[in-house]
Amino acid sequence: MAKNKPPAAAPQRTDDAPLGQGGERHQTAVSPAERTTTNHGVTISDNQNSLKAGDRGPTLLEDFVLREKIQHFDHERIPERIVHARGSGAHGYFELTDSLEGITRAKILTEVGERTEVFVRFSTVAGGAGSVDTPRDVRGFAVKFYTRDGNWDLVGNNIPVFFIQDAIKFPDLIHAVKMEADRGYPQAASAHDTFWDFVSLLPETTHMIMWAMSDRTLPRSLRMMEGFGVNTFRLLNEDDEATFVKFHWRPMLGLQSTCWDEAVKIAGADPDFHRRDLHEAIEAGDYPEWALGVQLLSQAEADALPFDILDATKLIPEELHPVRLIGRMVLDRNPDNFFAETEQVAFLPTNMPPGIDVSEDPLLQGRLFSYQDTQLSRLGTVNFHQIPVNRAKGCPMQNFQRDGHMQTQVFAGRANYEPNSLADAGEEPGPREDPTHGFRSFRAVTGDQKVRLRAESFADHYSHARLFYSSQSGIEQAHIASGLVFELSKVKLDHVVRRVLSNLRNVDEDLAARVADGLNVPLPAASAPAAEPIDMAPSPALRLIGKYEDSLAGRAIAILVTDGADARIVDAVRAAAESEGAAVKIIAPRIGGVMTDSGEPLAAGGQLGGSPSVLFDAVSLVVSAEGCAALLKESAAIDFLRDAYGHLKAIGFTAEAAPLLEAARILADDGVIDIGDDAEALIAASATRRWDREARVRTLA
């Protein structure tokens, strides 16, 4: 082969038959120069599936292809996390309110009223540690419980499903979504060629793409996100009887997103928007709170589902199996040191107390290895569990592991092995295993063959994507279509765009047509699915709009004032907003504040140019006639109003501010309110976005 000549393109499959199940890729001969090999030159026969004991069995430790691939991936960046690098954390506690006794022997899930210390880390996935808080991205939601039976790490996301079904594809997924290898950009963004090329070739990603293009990936606050364990786990009782479980976190403040244009502008106005919001809420005593919920299924109930419970690209509709709320988590203390705690905290899915166990989910099986290996690379030592934020706090840590880099414990005695008979000589023999109370794995029946196959029950890639889209409100469907248009408009490879549109036709014909129209490209024929999608009953629980009651609690309202502002109206708006749980910030042309009409000084919490309306959930203008005349010369004041209107927020104003509204071309609607003597009307309108305004301010797909 000539120097620098690219290899011939691999044969393209004509449909999305499950990889490893006889697809064309496995039937086509590959020349020696084109073969994928291990780092040591061994040709790989299947780069799509990990080695399992039967097609639905657990992943085998002997799978050196999987281990080498993930281990190399885990060690690519030092010391920043490869994924979830941009994070924010907080301390708090978990309190059980409803016992699962008889279902599990895990004390944290059976002892009502017991408070367990936790540390929680929220994060973005794709960006580096120095990226912004508000990109369109999945958010990590990881909780470390310091239980009396050892640490339990519930490591999940703010979305209940994932892109891939098998962990062997995780390095490929992250390589595709991260900065492109030859140019080092874009940062913290999926709107580029390599990501969409990858997902278009892997239809199993389609369900997650629906979530990623929805408003779920544009959260208003970390305090207003749901969290999910993503994978299927098991709970084991005293008799080792198993129950499948899915974990859910429900925010007490409800769900709220930003608009896409708003998220982009927040990134410029305050790159630390989410981190600051979380820290300041805890400092103010407005402690974020979530309810922990579980979906519990027997083996028979799992078998009755029209999909495989081990498939991480699927969810269990709450209408089929309701979420049972069993506890609450409160975050009430910020870290004392960001690096020591938020950066050094190490989450491991293998951290489980007795009574909680894994399933054979092939994505989870790979995570069990990957997380431990990643921490060894990031933290540089097998003793990372001795870092205070990682140390078991509710129980002693004792075994026969010794020495190693950065060992901080001083072990006494001779016993560093077992079995031993040192007790017969009057010496301390060290700890012993406990078959009664120790961790026991579920005794699963596995296949009798070692295979690299994807189970046939994993072959349906579109039904759940169709379920998610059909469950959304009309507003949310328009946002998904618009998100797809924006992302695909950044893709320069025409054949990739065509392939995405072909796949979208299997989700919803109208969605595919809206996206094609938004791009002004022809709509190609639908791709051939490996399994024919089925229509499932819509699940309103999957919506963001309307799932929780409208509320101002935890939100923020800005009052823009000038010299001569009516102090009575300022006080009325502030009192009404704070009575509903909102924070109020006074914004003035200068940070020194203003003099009100009463002759009293009014301190400013922010300066107009540095506190744009994108940082708030509603705005109010309380200005004098002279102050309004001055603001008419300030583009920041016009933008303050124009953005608030365009982002569908309630706007309150006094009569003196009318010329400013006219200059910003603000049209009257039920969210534009002359507050006069009625501040309550503004507060009522501020509890949600004015969705009926959207059609007047932007074109959606």
Name the residues annotated as catalytic. 84, 157
**Separation between Cα atoms, residue 251 and residue 253, nearest integer Å:** 5
Structure tokens, 218: 């544009």
Of the candidates 244, 209, 247, 207, which has an alpha carbon nearest to the alpha carbon of residue 227?
A: 247
Instruction: Give 451's strand partners.
Output: 52
Euclidean distance between CA atoms 350 and 541, whole angstroms: 30
Check if the beta carbon of residue 591 is closer than 8 Å to that of residue 604.
Answer: yes
Query: For residue 515, what is the enclosing H or E element?
Result: helix 509-519
Instruction: Compute the distance between CA of residue 320 and CA of residue 471 in angstroms, rounded to an integer.
Output: 14
- Tell me the DSSP string of 76-97: SSSSS-SSS-SEEEEEEEEEE-
b/e per residue 614-649 (b: at least 16 CB within 10 A)? bbbbbbbbbbbeebbeebeeeeebbbbbbbbbbbbb
**Integer Cα distance of 548 and 541 in angstroms:** 10
CA separation, residue 420 to residues 396, 411, 435 (Å):
21, 17, 18
Cα 302 to Cα 536: distance, rounded to the nearest angstrom: 16
Distance CA 192, CA 196 (A): 7
CB atoms inside a 10 Å sphere around CB 181: 8
Paired strand residues for 92: 118, 331
**N-to-C CA span, the chain:** 47
φ/ψ of residue 470, rounded to 5: -70, -20
| 3-class SS of residue 228 | strand
